């Protein structure tokens, strides 16, 4: 398997991410998510970033979503929905991700998906399997985060986005390189 270097480094950092405080030492105010203000300030090849460099969504006034948000919906539905329910609303197997993203920043989200999580106590047993080597998840993790971030922020309703921008130039090449 030929995973990008940043992916391998991120998976190696999972133990550091699992115990951190999503709000930092100054307990910043909760916005739409712990990553902060989701407003896009830059974009490259159709991928939008917020002021902190986190992947974010861009939704036009007419409801047209950016390509990453659309792909995030598709990939979430294929890979995450069986446990976390439609549209990130949870199920009997996995928690609601729409509200969970209000407490997790991008690094914690990434670390949890890549490295998994186990939370066992007398009342419950919660287990998130590791997806760090699953290219069908990891190659699209930014898109999945963007989709869930839009849902968490209330910027995107339930269901498949009706309109999306065309696949940006370079997207297919990056996808092919990641998928191998």
CA distance 113 to 132: 7
Which of 111-125, 133-147, 148-162 has the weakest average pLDDT? 111-125
Average pLDDT over residues 83-98: 88
pLDDT number for residue 24: 32
pLDDT tens profile 146-163: 999 999 999 999 999 999
pLDDT tens profile 56-90: 999 999 999 999 999 999 999 999 999 999 999 98
**Is the confidence at residue 4, as pLDDT, over 60?**
no
CA distance 160 to 53: 26
Sign of the CA dihedral running 161, 88, 113, 102: positive
Question: Which DSSP category does 26 fall into?
Answer: T
Q: What is the pTM of this model?
A: 0.79
């Amino acid at each position: 398997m030929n995973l990008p270097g940043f992916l391998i480094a991120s998976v190696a950092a999972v133990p550091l991410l699992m115990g951190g405080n999503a709000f930092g030492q100054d307990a910043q105010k909760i916005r739409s998510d712990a990553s902060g203000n989701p407003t896009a300030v830059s974009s490259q090849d159709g991928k939008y970033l917020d002021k902190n460099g986190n992947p974010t969504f861009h939704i036009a006034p007419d409801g047209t979503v950016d390509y990453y948000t659309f792909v995030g919906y598709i990939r979430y539905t294929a890979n995450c929905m069986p446990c976390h329910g439609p549209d990130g609303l949870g199920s009997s197997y996995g928690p609601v991700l729409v509200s969970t993203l209000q407490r997790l920043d991008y690094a914690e989200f990434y670390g949890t998906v890549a490295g998994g999580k186990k939370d066992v106590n007398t009342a419950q047993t919660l287990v998130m399997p590791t997806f760090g080597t699953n290219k069908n998840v990891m190659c699209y993790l930014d898109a999945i985060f963007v989709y869930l971030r839009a849902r968490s922020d209330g910027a995107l309703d339930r269901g498949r986005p009706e309109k999306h921008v065309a696949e940006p130039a370079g997207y297919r090449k990056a996808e092919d390189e990641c998928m191998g």
